[in-house]
Amino acid sequence: MKKYSGFFGCLFLALSGTLFGQVNDADWPAYGGDPSGMRHAALSQITPENLHRLKVAWTYRTGELAYYQQNNAAEKAAFEATPLMVEGVLYLSTPSNRVIALDPATGAEKWTFDPKVNLKEDYSEITSRGVSTWPGPDEVGKDRERRIFLATIDGRLIALSAATGKPIPEFGRKGTIDLRRGIGPISVTSPPAIIGNTVITGSSMGDNQRLDYERGVVRAFDVLTGKLKWRWDPIPRKADDPARATWKGKKAAQTGAANAWSILSVDPERNLVFIPTTSPSPDYYGGERVGRNEYANSIVALRASTGKLVWHFQTVHHDLWDYDNAAQPALISVERDGGEVPAVAVGTKMGHIFLLHRETGKPLFPVEERPVPQSKVPGEQAYPTQPFPVLPLPVGPQQVRIEDAWGLTEADREVAEERIASLVNEGPFTPPSLQGTMVTPSNAGGVHWGGVSYDPGRNLLITNINRLVAVIRLIPREKLKEEEGKNEALLRAETGLQEGTPYVLKRDYLFTRSQEGLRMQTKPPWGTLLAIDMNSGERKWEVPLGFMYDPQTYPDAVNWGSINFGGALTTASGLTFVAASLDGFFRAFATETGELLWQSQLPAGGQSTPMSYQLNGKQYLVISAGGHGKLGTPLGDYVVAYALD
């Protein structure tokens, strides 16, 4: 139903105009382009034939670098925002949660709003993926001014006047709702969802330091007053909820998280909001929460007006791998039995892509429960089976063997072989171990928060993936200092205290670090871009995305791909635009074939998702280029717009 032509296209536009505000194909009114998160621009001025004329139209600098320096925040900062374009104004947020309005033709600043977030708090990451807009008029037909909604890393929901950038005093308390009140020190890193006169937000939190994290509640507020409409807890607390029986153990009720930190999608026609939930806390040990842990690691459809559960589909049972549903669910339509069926496409960190019926949650391709390796860690009970989609086939590596070892030199390869031989991997869903487990795809692998895009005219789902292997080791708490004293690499690895459990987490990846950068230890490619036909479930093509080593020194590096964060954009003219890779290039590929057609060097890392709009007859492409502190890409504070010269 997302083909903007014929009867279905007219119906969609009519419904979205009634329930969500009129959507103009030239605008980009939501994070994913539309409320359904397809990340597709129905624009065709920029084509494969004229790509060579694509040039920088304007560049705007946010001034964020000064904020990082003042607050020692550079190592955690990531400019991941996708701007909005509505009614002739571009709106975006910065990692420090400042909101900026720009002239979309020139990049000239119209106004800024600074919520004055204290960047010295202990945030896992300093980022904001964007803002949301409520278009009006409201449901009773009274004209209201456009609002911009910002959810902050210090746990606030703020309503701003789109015209002035000033807080709207009648919303909450002087324009602000304290999302931490009654919950605890949560953050929000993704834009809230808007449906009708309701704004809905999830939350973000670090989830490896203790068992009893905050509750990952999803809440809905009135867009005009800020009054709470409903709240939904992904961990079932009521005795009459049938899912509660899937959480067993004396401490199961203390479990937190299972939150929705990624982007929500909405279906105004069906009055549904789709929630991608995450792992319960802590990520890598579940002995205190034995069972399937339903509603966690799930796609959950709620009635948007009431918050009542309509259906849920669990992508991982009893998560032990930090396999959050990080990608926004994409609401698409597919052909079945000669007709169009409303669907939800779900990309996961495991490299599994599930296609579900949007109204029931039933899989549209077969899903099999298959036996998986069991845990040898005392106290743990890994779930005996996991859901595997028959189609599409998994993306990314599903197992690591000694023959997968790789190095820039023969000595590097031998080190990689030795390391792989010392670790455990029995295929997908190998549980964490005391010896050390290779998890592939990793918590950063498969489809991450960059998500998927969907070209409705070609029925192609496009996604970029990471092929990165994590090394997970659990250490009995009383033996931590002893083990670190014996193993310098273990001392350097990331530590999750997992308080409330018997084990401390140590997490690393199959690479080493040197003055020259990362030295990968598994065979390339390490990042790819691929296309899947969502009618048949067949993969149409897959190509390396970016490079991590200097091609002048290593000519084959252009075929090795790159670790990548950020998503892709498709256009009606058959182009797929994506940055995301560590090399800092913004690229265009042919959607039909995967052929690389164009690339442009960005002034800083492009770990974000681009968007496109048309203004005064000219199509623009815009991307945030500010780098990613944890990935080590060059930091900056650029917003770059491209157009045909």
* Active-site residue list: 322
Q: 167: Cβ–Cβ under 8 A, 6 or more apart, which residues?
A: 113, 158, 159, 160, 161, 174, 175, 176
Q: Distance of CA 6 to CAs 12, 37, 93, 149, 330, Å? A: 10, 21, 36, 33, 22
**């000519």: which residue's tokens?**
555
User: 585, 419, 598, 577: which is closest to 511 by C-alpha?
Assistant: 419
Using CB atoms within 10 Å of the CB of residue 634, give its burial: 0 to 12 exposed, 13 to 18 middle, 19+ buried.
middle
Tokens of 93: 């947020």
User: 125, 124, 117, 263: which is closest to 190 by C-alpha?
Assistant: 263
Tokens of 407: 């190095």
Q: Distance of CA 584 to CAs 23, 476, 546, 563, Å? A: 32, 41, 9, 12
**């020194």: which residue's tokens?**
553
State the amino acid at position 199 in one-letter form. Answer: V
DSSP label of 628:
B
User: 276, 353, 280: which is closest to 321 by C-alpha?
Assistant: 280
- Contact indicator for 21, 135 with CB cutoff of 8 Å: yes
- Contact indicator for 582, 562 with CB cutoff of 8 Å: yes
- How many Å apart are CA 366 and CA 219, to the nearest integer? 33
- How many Å apart are CA 461 and CA 463, to the nearest integer? 7
DSSP secondary structure string for all residues of 228-281: EEEEE-SS--STT-GGGGG-BSTTGGG--B----S--EEEGGGTEEEEE--PBS
**């590929």: which residue's tokens?**
589
- Contact indicator for 535, 482 with CB cutoff of 8 Å: no
- Contact indicator for 450, 609 with CB cutoff of 8 Å: yes
Residues 74, 99, 278, 118, CA torsion sign: positive
Tokens of 535: 């009618």
* DSSP three-state, residue 376: coil
Which segments within 510-581 are labelled E, that is strand?
A: 511-514, 517-520, 527-533, 539-544, 568-571, 575-578
State the amino acid at position 410 in one-letter form. Answer: E
- Contact indicator for 330, 344 with CB cutoff of 8 Å: yes
User: 365, 362, 352: which is closest to 393 by C-alpha?
Assistant: 352
- How many Å apart are CA 587 and CA 320, to the nearest integer? 35
